[in-house]
Structure 1
Amino acid sequence: MNQHTQSVSESEQGFTALGGGLSEESKLELLEYWRSITKRKWAILALGLVVAVLAGAIVFSITPEYRATTTVLIEQGKRKVLSIEDVYGGASQEKEHYQTQVEILKSREVATRVVRGLRLWEYPEFDVRKPDDSVIGKLKTALGIQKTEATWTEDKLVDAVVAAFSAKLSVEPVRLSQLVKVSFTAEDKKLAALVANTVADSYISADREAKFKMTQQANNWLQERTQSLRDKLVSSEQALQAYREKAGIVSLSGSAQTMIGQQIGEVTQRLVEAKARRAEAESAYEQMKSVKDGDYSSVPAVVRNQAVGEARKAEAAASQKVAELQQRYGAEHPRMVQAMSEQKAAKDNLLRQMQSVAASLTREYESAKATERALEGALNSARGSVQNVNRQEFQLGVLEREVQTNKQLYEMFMNRAKETHESGDLQSAVARVVDAAVAPMLPVKPKKGQVIAIALVLGLFAGVLISLLLDKLDNTVKGIEDAERRFQLPVLSALPELGVQAGKNAMTMFIDKPESHLAEAVRTARTGVLLSNLDAACRVLVVTSSVPGEGKTTVASNLALAHAQTKRTLLIDADMRRPQVARRLALPPAARGLSALVAGTARLEECIHSIKGTSLAVMPVGEIPPNPVELLLSQRFRETLEVLAKHYEVIVIDSPPVELVSDAMVIAPLATSVVYVVRAMETPYPLARKGLIRLQRAGGKVLGVVLNHLDFKKAQTYYGEYSGYGKDGYEGYGYSQKTKSAA
């Protein structure tokens, strides 16, 4: 027991994981989609095959096209013989260069070269001169929309073919490389290879021509510029020479400034010395000027003079001699007189010497002043000369630099012009062909197998969508599960589709063919009725539907026959507008029934009839009253049902459809329960649901739904409905008629 429970739990867990967390509604919706596909699988498959066959017919009628590919290597960073980029202002980046060359490959210039070189208009595929024989072309010609060219020149043919050529040309860069795939598609495989190779060759040739043309233009420009620079150089040299001659400059080269600098230094040194001498002489002169009495003995400059010093010594010696003689001789003594005379002469000499020195100091002071002024003038003159030389050398330097610059430019352009002229015919290619195109063996389009496979898939997909759309648009009830999901009510039973011939005798099929599907389905419905209201002494059962033709009368008759086997049962035909029970059960046309009983014009025994071979009591409508609703709303109808409930255990009432009249809503509250009949695959479920809601609002207790006219085989195949009944009733369960009788 525990092991079984554990295994069941594990299986439930496995089922939950397998469900992927989908809700029941999602699972049910997916199941509906799957059923919609499986029920029309052959139609879907047929549609897919038809689409595939049509696609195959179309692709096999299309002229195949071939694609040839040439691989081109774009040269980048290769050293060129002549760098024209310097003249035109720099080189582009590697990536920009690569993308530029790819765009050049796609350009109209290359296309025009190829079209003109190969004369593509002479090939049938590109011949624009031939008339358009297609239906659209003929229609355009008839309407005058399509213009025809009267005269075709080569330029017009090239312009007309270039557009078609570009549409068939493909230039694709190879990622992370400098390779480019140049492909061309054409109906002629050899032409495809020829055009692909010609495109690459034309592109390389066009690049070489462009470079050659650029070199020629650069050469011409350099020649013109060189001539201009030559003239400018000659003019600047002439201006330099004229300035030298005007300024009297032979060749300075810096020596003039050096000599003048040395001269200024010497004059400055002498000026300093002169200033010192002048200051010294001025000091002595000022001391001398301060003497008032002519005694210059207090003047240091006079005292320091050698002659004054010697005169002073002589005067001192004479004075000493006089002093010595005064001690021996008198004033009149000759030797004394001579000594006095010598003393006076020495003093006079000293005075003269001092005066002479004072006069010389004045002269020295004046001379020092003159020398200082002269040196200052010489220094100022030297400085002016330096400034003048500086100006001359500056102007000379400007002229010399201009000459040098013009000379350098002239030499550079002269060399470049020579290089350009010498290397004008030698140019490096921007690209080269790595892998030339060859004629392909297989066409690139149409890809017949792929197109047919895609058409098949699209056809199947379209079939699936159409099937799902049809089911979405189909709002009828498909089967038991569908009915229970849409109505939220139990399905008491599902009666099979009988066909036109069998349906005519379906009123008593329960007793005529007890082993049939219908009989077994009625037994199932009877069981559901008996299991409801177990304590009720009498069950009043109303059978109704949404609209006529759903088989409510057949269901009511067979359900009453089924109850009649075990209980006292009465079948009442309450459809007073279109009564069917009396006619279909072969009752007398003048048989009285419900209308006479409720009106009180007949007794109960006169209104009840029996069915041969059964214990079922039947009460037909009888005479059709003019006011059925008022009759059913009357108190006498209620009392009649109460009286009948005392005599019968089960009363089955065949009521009119809900959507046409309100009779069923009047009877439903008086009944124990209501059985709602819905015709499978025909009755719209919104209509049926509306009828059920109206019955419930009226007070009726809906027991369940009986699904009528259900094609079990189709439902099982298309909708997954399960039926345990075989073709002949119980044989589906393995029972035979003999077994049933024994039972």
Structure 2
Amino acid sequence: MSEVLHSEKHHSIPSAAHQTDDQLELLVYWRSVVKRKWSILGLAAAMTLLAAVVVFMMTPIYRSTVTILIEQNKTKVVSIEDVYSGIGQGKEYIQTQSEIIKSLSLAKVVVDKLKLTKHPEFDPRVNTSWLHSLLATLGASGKEPTEAEIRDAVAARLANSLTVEPVKMSQLIKVSFDSPDSQLAAKVANAVAEAFVESDMEAKFQMTQRASNWLNEHLAGLKVDLQKSEQALQEYRDREHIVDAGNLELSGASNQLQGLLASLVNARMNRAQAESAYKQVKNAGDSLESLPVVQKDPLAAKLKEVVAEKERKVSELANRYGKEHVKMIQAQADLDQARDGLRRHVDVVVAGLQREYEVARANEGALAGAVAEAKGTIQGANKKGFELSSLERDVATNKQIYDTFLSRFKETSATGDSGALVGRVIDPATPAVSPIKPKKGMVIAVAFVLGLLLGVAVALLLDRLDNTVRSTEDAELKLGQPILSTLPLLEGNDDQHMGRYYLDEPRSVFAESVRTARTGVLLSAIDCPNKILVITSSVPGEGKTTVSSNLALSHAQTKRVLLIDADMRRPSVAKVMNLDMAKQGLSALVTGTATLEECTQTIEGSTLHVVTAGSIPPNPLELLLSNKFEELLKSLSEKYDMVIIDSPPVQLVSDAVVLSTMATGVVFVVKADSTPHQVARRCIKTLLEAEATLFGVTLNQLDFRKAESYYGAYTGYGKYGYDGYYTKET
């Protein structure tokens, strides 16, 4: 369970941090806008004023709109789609009509109807700017345009100025025209609608006339063709003696042919059978009795039985009496007679088969001839029928074509008289009361909003480009060091007053900020009884001397404090604290030409001791690097509770780095809204690389009231009477 809670805790921390960062980012944006709110409002007001001037100088434009109903599904008197190539359905048809309304040919009709070439708004001879544009388009700037060219140019301008908008889910089209003249806008819109309807009527009338003329021209030729085909049909009937198609007796000839064909098949079968039997007889030789036809003959069968009986009798008598016996001879004679009778009968049967084969073959030939004759008759009849059908088809085709053309001719004439329109005007255009543009209120409001947005964008951009330190949070974030105190901006005070402002204004916000810095310094090295404190900055002009002198005055209230001006290139402690600048100072003290008492000055109203820079040596860095200076600094730290050194800036010379290695700690001064944070970070890095102890950063010359308004910081001094309390005189 504890592991789960631990995991949830670790997951919730980044989320909360991310949310806090987003809130801080938004707060930074808001403060950037508030900081420059008057500039943003001024830019918005200027853009609004400029837009108002431009808008009120613009010519007002009026719009008039006419509504047209497209009659795409209107019922027609007769169907004539083929003549008009069909009327489409749906949005494609509406779009087609919209493009027709915007066509150049329709615009030319409106131009001629309203005489727009002579209207001041359209006439290029009056509007010189448009004339130059027209001449440039024609490529003949030195030549006056002709009437036809002016008409084409005016029509093109009119067509481009029209706004044609189909109404969704309907058959309505709104046609609008914009013009500085409201009356002209209404006239042009209505004229366009009327021209559209009239042009459709004229187009339909012309199409009907062309179709009627074409049909009329072809009707005469079609009628002649029909008459010729009918005459050819009648002549053929007369020549072939055809009264009716049913008198061709094709049905009887067909029935006769069918009967003959059936008989021919039977005759061929009979002939085949007779021929087969005849071939068997021819191939049998002497064994005619074994032929199937002979064996099937009843008489032949009886004769065979008689022969068989006679042979049996002969055989019996031969065994009993012998060959010479009378009975044997008689029996043999009977047998021969029986055999002779059988042979004659077989010859008769064979002869009958031959005659039957001849008859069957003759019969087959006769039937084949009859079939051929019947086929010839039918073929002749069919040929007549085909010729007759061809002539009848010609008549029917010519009659159908003629009837179709005649019907379409009547339909075209009737449609041309019906006057069906493609559309009609639902709401005519009326002169507009108020202009459509410019929309002054909207333009001014948009200009104001754009001015605000531009101002906000510029403000955010300036803040993004501003690389200075602007607040305590900014200093901690960009410099990565703790803030000892933030000193307010002192205005209207000379340099001599700045160095002792802590004494002169003890209840001021500045004095309280110095006390805060004093507390921070004391807490930074709490175990060190004697402190050597170096005050430095990045570049000159950041107020380090003011900070060091006032910080020394605050420490002098409770401790023995010595302030040393170690900036021997540009010394300023004597100036800001109104001290004797001619008195010997640090350079004489280090070289041993003067004692500490001779170099020390006191501040009226304070126990603070000050050692100014004195005479400026040729090489101040060598002086600070000398053993004498190090020994002097050690002896001074034993004599005083705190030694505060006003050091040169880090960016320019190395004096501050050398002094920081001898000091207990360093206070780094940064001027608000002035010093680039990159420079300050680089100088702090230089001190840290020299192993200096950095107590913290003092943000100097910050406008508290401005920071309170812009960043929401330092609000405690402006509430509950603290601001008034700290600004009172003692």
TM-score range, shorter chain: 0.7 to 0.9
Deviation at 1:164, TM superposition (A): 2.8
Residue 102 of structure 1: aligned partner? 98
Q: Which residue number corresponds to residue 264 of structure 1?
A: 257
Further displaced range: 228-237 or 626-635? 228-237
User: How far apart, in 2, do the equivalents of 1:160 and 1:269 lie?
Assistant: 93
The verdict on how the C-alpha distance between 1:88 and 1:514 changes in structure 2, with shifts beyond 3 A counting, is closer
| 1:323 match | none
Kept in 2, the 8 Å contact 1:140–1:146? The answer is no
Question: Cα deviations across residues 334-388 of structure 1 (Å, max 9, x unaligned)?
Answer: xxxxxxxxxxxxxxxxxxxxx9999999888766654442222111221233234
- TM-score of the two chains, using structure 2 as the length reference: 0.81
Mapped pair 1:452 → 2:452: no
Report the alpha carbon displacement of residue 652 of structure 1 after superposing the two structures with TM. Answer: 0.5
1:337-736 alignment to 2 at 5 Å? 369-725=361-717, 732-733=724-725
Q: Name which of 208, 212, 217 aligns with 2:201.
A: 208
Partners of 2:508 and 2:727 within 8 A in 1: no
**Greater displacement, 191-200 / 559-568:** 191-200
**Take 1:272 and 1:146, find their aligned partners in 2: how far apart are those partners?**
99
Corresponding residue number in structure 2 for 1:176:
169
Q: Are the aligned partners of 2:508 and 2:726 in contact in 1 as well (CA < 8 Å)?
A: no
* Other-structure match for 1:217: 210
Partner Cα distance (1:609, 1:48) in 2:
58
Report the CA distance between 1:149 and its aligned residue: 7.9
Asked if structure 2 preserves the Cα contact closer than 8 Å seen for 1:219 and 1:420, the reply is: yes
**Residue deviations 1:604-639 (CA, integer Å, cap 9, x gap):** 333333233321111222221212112222233222
In the alignment, what sits opposite 1:322?
Answer: none
For the 8 Å contact 1:542–1:653, the answer to whether it is kept is yes
Offset of residue 430 of structure 1? 0.8
> Which AA in structure 1 matches 2:109?
R
The answer to whether the Cα contact below 8 Å between 2:125 and 2:131 also exists between their aligned partners in 1 is no
How far 1:574 sits from its partner (Å)?
Answer: 0.8
8 Å CA contact retained: 2:657, 2:690:
yes
Post-superposition CA distance 1:380-434 (Å, at most 9, x none): 2212332343344334423432332222112211221233234433331011111
Q: CA RMSD in A?
A: 4.1
Structure 2: which amino acid aligns with 1:207?
D
SS at match of 2:128: coil
* Secondary structure class of the residue paired with 2:420: coil
Offset at residue 505 of structure 1 (A): 1.2
Confirm or deny that 1:92 pairs with 2:92. Answer: no
Question: Per-residue displacement from partner, 1:242-298 (whole Å, max 9, x unpaired)?
Answer: 7667777665447432121122234345556766887999999999999x9xxxxxx
The aligned counterpart of 1:295 is: none
CA offset at residue 705 of structure 1? 1.6
Is 1:198 aligned to 2:191, yes or no?
yes
What's the CA shift string for 1:301-321, capped at 9, x where partnerless?
9xx9xxxxxxxxxxxxxxxxx
Q: CA–CA distance in 2 between the matches of 1:281 and 1:656?
A: 156
Judge conservation of contact 1:724–1:732 (CA < 8 Å) in 2: no
Cα drift, residue 543 of structure 1: 0.5
C-alpha distance in 2, partners of 1:526/1:383?
A: 145
Which residue matches 1:165? 158
Q: Alpha-carbon deviation of 1:145? A: 12
SS in 2 for 1:125: coil
Which residue identity is paired with 2:451? G
User: What is residue 107 of structure 2 aligned with on the other side?
Assistant: 111
> Which whole-Å CA distance do the structure 2 matches of 1:478 and 1:608 have between them?
38
Alpha-carbon distance in structure 1 between the residues aligned to 2:437 and 2:425: 26
Go from structure 1 to structure 2 and tell me whether the alpha carbon gap of 1:183 and 1:20 turns closer, same or farther (over 3 Å shift).
Answer: farther
Residues 517 and 729 in structure 1, CA contact (< 8 A), matched pair in contact too: no
Q: State the distance in 1 between where 2:419 and 2:91 align.
A: 22
CA contact (8 A) 1:84 1:215 kept: no
The amino acid of 1:103's aligned partner reads E
Change over 3 Å in CA distance of 1:562–1:375 after alignment to 2: same
Q: Tell me the secondary structure at the aligned position of residue 67 of structure 1.
A: strand
Q: How far does the alpha carbon of each residue in 1:222-248 deviate from its partner, in whole angstroms, 9 at most, with x for none?
A: 234434434544554566567667777
Cα distance in 2 for partners of 1:41, 1:546 equals: 32
Is 1:52 aligned to residue 48 of structure 2? yes
Is the contact made by 1:81 and 1:427 (CA closer than 8 Å) also made in structure 2? Answer: no
Is the contact between residue 84 and residue 207 of structure 2 (CA under 8 Å) also seen in structure 1? no
Shift of 1:122: 2.8
CA gap of 1:21–1:221, structure 2 versus 1, over 3 A, is: farther
Whether contact under 8 Å (1:542, 1:674) holds in the other structure is yes
Secondary structure (helix, strand or coil) at the match of 2:219 reads: helix
> Cα deviation per residue 1:629-679 (whole Å; 9 max; x = unaligned)?
122222332222211111111110000011111111111121111111122
Which of residues 103, 116, 121 in structure 2 aligns to 1:120?
A: 116
The equivalent residue for 2:304 is none
Deviations 1:438-468 (A, max 9, x none): 2221111111111111111112222222222
Residue 340 of structure 2: aligned partner: none
Partner secondary structure for residue 86 of structure 1:
coil
Residues 21 and 563 of structure 1: CA distance in aligned 2, closer, same or farther (over 3 Å): closer
Q: 1:34 aligns with which of 13, 23, 30?
A: 30
Report the CA distance shift for 1:82/1:728 in structure 2 as closer, same or farther (over 3 A): closer
Measure the CA separation in 1 of the matches of 2:162 and 2:659. Answer: 83
User: Does structure 1 retain, via aligned residues, the 8 Å contact 2:80–2:411?
Assistant: no
Cα offset, 1:560, TM superposition = 0.7
Q: Name the structure 2 match of 1:346.
A: none
Find the aligned partners of 2:589 and 2:132 in 1 and give their Cα distance: 82
CA-to-aligned-CA distance 1:114-153 (integer Å, 9 cap, x gap) = 11111123332222211437xxx89999x99997786565
Contact (CA 8 Å) 1:168, 1:186: kept in 2 or not? no
- 2:505/2:729 contact within 8 Å kept: no
What is the CA-CA distance between 1:197 and the residue it aligns to? Answer: 1.3
Aligned residue number for residue 39 of structure 2: 43
AA in 1 matched with 2:697:
V
Deviations 1:467-513 (A, max 9, x none): 22222233222232322222222222222222243443111122222
**Which residue of 1 is the match for residue 334 of structure 2?**
none
**Structure 2: which 5+ runs fail to align?**
1-11, 286-292, 298-346
